[in-house]
Every structure is written in structure tokens, then in C-alpha cells.
């Protein structure tokens, strides 16, 4: 009996060893091309700023991290709040939250509509939703720009209908950036919600109507709880790329309405302040990690509750 147990244990150890050996190429790739660059950025954030860009290697400094929130007064070098940095940070969070809400308001009815189509038609609707992913992000952003500029289709249509007498300034505003972000990231909201709605037992919806619940009550007490995992996943998938968006704010904001992505690029480019750019990048990464950890913990609690 003991011989059999020892043999089974040896086989198990060999199997584990083989699995680790097979995963070595993947681990090396992740370390070199994912963790490696992040480690370099982290190290740069703790170095002193170079005279003409870059960093001074071997010279430790917290100036980059301090500059994320504070700046030096030009008269006495005292630290004061960096209002410009904080305003950009707040604009990024605000627009990302509004993008998430806007995508949810549009994406949920869209996903619900697709989930309630006949099974033979759903693939067609999903195909139409995913078509934008086939086009480069920059091309899609310029298409939005052509719609909302002063001589664009929206203004020309409103003027031809007599609704307005002169073009409305929509381009290069926070509203333009928000509109573009919602359009770009809408599929990332629709698909997870649709996946949850497709698994929903529609007999529960029918039971709700049989119990004299109105549509709002069925939506609130049956549909929304059933697709909650999809809603949470969609919100995270939209919020994370939106807060670090670069192309859409750059094109539709015109450089006047910067977000974190544009601000980080500016530090590595014209400003030549690599430690600050690195600190901002790590700050953005920390925000994303906190959101992902919160989602994983929420999902784990749900799994434990379902198991009980």
C-alpha cells in the first residue's frame, strides 16, 4: 500500500515538474516583455530628472512622486498643490466614470435587445456590434470628428432643419471627448452584459409577470440581479481603458482637454520629465489594479455565496 502511495506521489511530482517546464517559455516572455518594462518605469520614477530629458542613473529622488500632487512655489520653493495635475486627474476620472455610465445606459438596452432576438438572428446582431473593432481606433475617432465639427453632418443637418442659426461648438470640448469614448468602448459593455443575459433563465421573467409585477419591477428584481456579473465586468472593461485613453482625447479634445494618457505622453515628450511621467504611469497602474482586485474579490464572494 505504501509503495503504491509513494509511486503516486512520485508521478504527481513529475507531472508538476513537467507542467512548470512547459510553462517556462511563457513565464520568460511575461517577465521580459510585460514585467520588465514596468520595472524599468518603476525605477525611473525614483530617479532624478535629467538635465535634457531622461534620468540620472544612480541618483535616488522622490521628486517625481512628489510632483504628482505638489509643485514648488516659484518664489520660495515651498510645496503647493499642483492644481493643473489634479484637474487633469479629476477630468480623467470624471470622463471615465461618465463614459462607463453612458456606455451602460446605451449598452444594457442593446444587449437586452440582442439577447431577446431569435437564436438564429443573434449572431448577426453581435457581428454588427463587433464591426467597429475591425477598424483602426484613429480612423473611428476621425469619423466622430467629422460628425461633430462645425461644418460636420450634425451641425449641417440642424441648420438645414432650422433648429439652429449657426454651428454649435461641439469639437474640442469635454462633451466631444465623452461622446467619442462612449462610441469607442461601447462594445466592451455590450458583450459581457449580453453573455450574462443569454444565461438568464427567462422563465423567471415570465414568473415575475405571472405574479403581477410590472416591467420596472421585473427589471429591478429579476433581470438586473441576474446580469449583475456582466454589468460589473462591462463597467470595469470600459472604465480601465477610458481613464488612460490617449488617441480620443488628443483628437477630439484638441490638446486643450487632456487626460492622464495625454499628460503622461507630454512628460516623456516635450516636458522631458521622465520621473514624473513614470510616477504618473505607475499611479494609473495602481488605480487599475485596485479596480481589478475589487472585482476579483467581489466575484470570489459571489462564488462562495453560490456554493453555500
Task: Return the biggest CA–CA distance within the chain.
Answer: 92
pLDDT recorded at residue 256 = 75
In the chain, CATH 1.10.3720.10 covers 83-272
**282 φ, ψ (degrees, to nearest 5):** -65, -35
Q: C-alpha grid cell for residue 87? A: 484637474
- Quick one: pLDDT at residue 283? 92
Give the pLDDT confidence of 149-163 residue by residue, as tens digits.
Answer: 988 889 999 999 888
What is the pTM assigned to this prediction?
A: 0.85
User: Which grid coordinates belong to 253?
Assistant: 479634445
Contact 96, 242 (CB under 8 A): yes
> Phi/psi zone of residue 191: left (φ > 0), alpha (ψ -120 to 50 degrees), beta?
alpha
Cell 469619423 identifies what position? 143
Of 40, 100, 32, the residue nearest 275 (C-alpha)? 40
Predicted local confidence at residue 215, as pLDDT: 86
Say what the pLDDT of residue 211 is: 83
pLDDT of residue 305: 57
CB 205 within 8 A of CB 182: no
Question: Which is nearest to 184 in space by CA: 154, 143, 221?
Answer: 143
C-alpha–C-alpha distance, residues 170 and 177, integer Å: 10
Helix (H, G, I), strand (E, B) or coil at 290: helix
8 Å CB contact between 275 and 48: yes
- pLDDT tens track for 71-93: 887 777 788 888 889 999 999 99
Is residue 152 within a helix (H) or strand (E), and if so which, with residue range? Answer: none
Residues 6+ apart with CB under 8 A from 71: 79, 80, 81, 82, 85
Taking residue 118's Cβ as centre, other Cβ atoms within 10 Å add up to 6
pLDDT of residue 306: 58
Task: For the chain, list residues with pLDDT below 70.
Answer: 1-3, 299-308
> Domain spanning 83-272: which CATH class is it, in words?
mainly alpha
Amino acid at each position: 500500500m505504501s509503495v503504491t502511495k509513494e509511486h503516486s506521489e512520485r508521478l504527481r511530482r513529475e507531472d508538476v515538474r513537467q507542467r512548470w517546464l512547459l510553462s517556462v517559455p511563457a513565464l520568460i516572455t511575461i517577465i521580459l516583455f510585460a514585467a520588465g518594462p514596468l520595472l524599468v518605469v518603476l525605477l525611473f520614477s525614483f530617479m532624478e530628472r535629467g538635465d535634457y530629458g531622461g534620468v540620472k542613473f544612480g541618483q535616488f529622488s522622490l521628486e517625481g512622486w512628489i510632483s504628482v500632487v505638489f509643485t514648488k512655489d516659484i518664489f520660495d520653493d515651498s510645496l503647493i498643490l499642483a492644481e493643473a495635475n489634479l484637474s487633469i486627474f479629476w477630468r480623467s476620472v470624471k470622463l471615465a466614470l461618465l463614459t462607463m455610465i453612458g456606455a451602460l445606459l446605451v449598452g444594457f438596452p442593446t444587449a437586452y435587445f440582442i439577447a431577446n432576438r431569435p437564436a438564429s438572428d443573434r449572431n448577426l446582431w453581435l457581428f454588427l456590434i463587433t464591426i467597429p473593432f475591425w477598424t483602426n481606433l484613429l480612423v473611428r475617432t476621425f469619423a466622430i470628428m467629422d460628425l461633430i465639427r462645425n461644418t460636420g453632418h450634425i451641425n449641417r443637418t440642424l441648420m438645414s432643419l432650422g433648429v439652429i442659426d449657426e454651428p454649435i461648438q461641439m469639437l474640442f470640448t469635454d462633451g466631444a471627448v465623452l461622446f467619442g469614448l462612449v462610441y469607442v468602448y461601447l462594445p466592451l459593455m455590450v458583450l459581457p452584459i449580453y453573455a450574462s443575459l443569454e444565461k438568464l433563465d427567462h422563465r423567471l421573467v415570465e414568473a415575475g409577470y405571472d405574479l403581477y409585477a410590472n416591467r420596472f419591477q421585473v427589471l429591478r428584481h429579476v433581470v438586473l440581479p441576474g446580469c449583475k456579473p456582466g454589468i460589473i465586468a462591462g463597467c470595469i472593461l470600459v472604465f480601465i481603458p477610458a481613464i488612460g485613453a490617449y488617441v480620443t482625447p488628443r483628437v477630439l479634445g484638441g490638446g486643450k482637454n487632456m487626460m492622464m494618457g495625454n499628460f503622461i505622453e507630454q512628460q516623456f515628450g516635450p516636458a522631458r520629465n521622465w520621473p514624473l511621467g513614470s510616477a504618473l504611469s505607475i499611479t494609473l497602474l495602481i488605480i487599475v489594479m485596485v479596480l481589478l482586485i475589487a472585482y476579483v474579490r467581489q466575484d470570489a464572494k459571489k462564488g462562495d455565496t453560490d456554493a453555500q
